[in-house]
Amino acid sequence: MTIWMAGLMTLILMVMVAIMFAGTVRVARHRAMSAADLSALAAARLAFADPGRGCSLAASLAEDNGTRLTRCSINDHGIADVQVTVRFHLPALGPQTVTAAARAGPVQLTVPGGPEGEADEAVRGPPPRGSSP
């Protein structure tokens, strides 16, 4: 009976370790995704005013979130494309890296089949009564 108990305890321990590893990787992945999203938004905010400063702000924000910015680019349309990495350690497996990417930029809304002026009205609604257009 003791061999069966030892085998059962080993199986339970292995399942617990697997759950711990999966949880650690999942937390690192979420941290990387959040930092990538925030960094992309920070870079996109300054995309037209100062693109170089946008990427340096994104790098600073990524570092503050425990990640490292590995790629940052802002195209002519003001869209920021960033990539961050998170390093973490798993017992018996050593250091690991998780990478996440995000894009952010200005919103451009168009109404299908209508002139572009309708898009503004669709977002803001019609002008108040009594006001001139």
pLDDT in tens, 77-115: 888 999 999 999 888 888 999 999 999 988 764 555 555
How many whole angstroms separate alpha carbon 131 and alpha carbon 133? Answer: 7
First to last CA, the chain: 87
Contact, 43 vs 54, CB < 8 A? Answer: yes
Entry pTM: 0.69
Given pLDDT bands bounded at 50, 70 and 90, which one contains residue 127? low
User: What residues make up the domain containing 54?
Assistant: 1-108
pLDDT at 3: 92
E-assigned strand segments in the chain = 68-74, 80-90, 94-104
Strand partners, 69: 84
Q: What is the DSSP letter of 128?
A: P
- The verdict on residue 72 lying in a domain is yes
Given pLDDT bands bounded at 50, 70 and 90, which one contains residue 23? very high
pLDDT tens-place string over residues 33-68: 999 999 999 999 888 888 778 889 999 999 999 999
Q: What's the total number of domains in the chain? A: 1
- The verdict on residue 129 lying in a domain is no
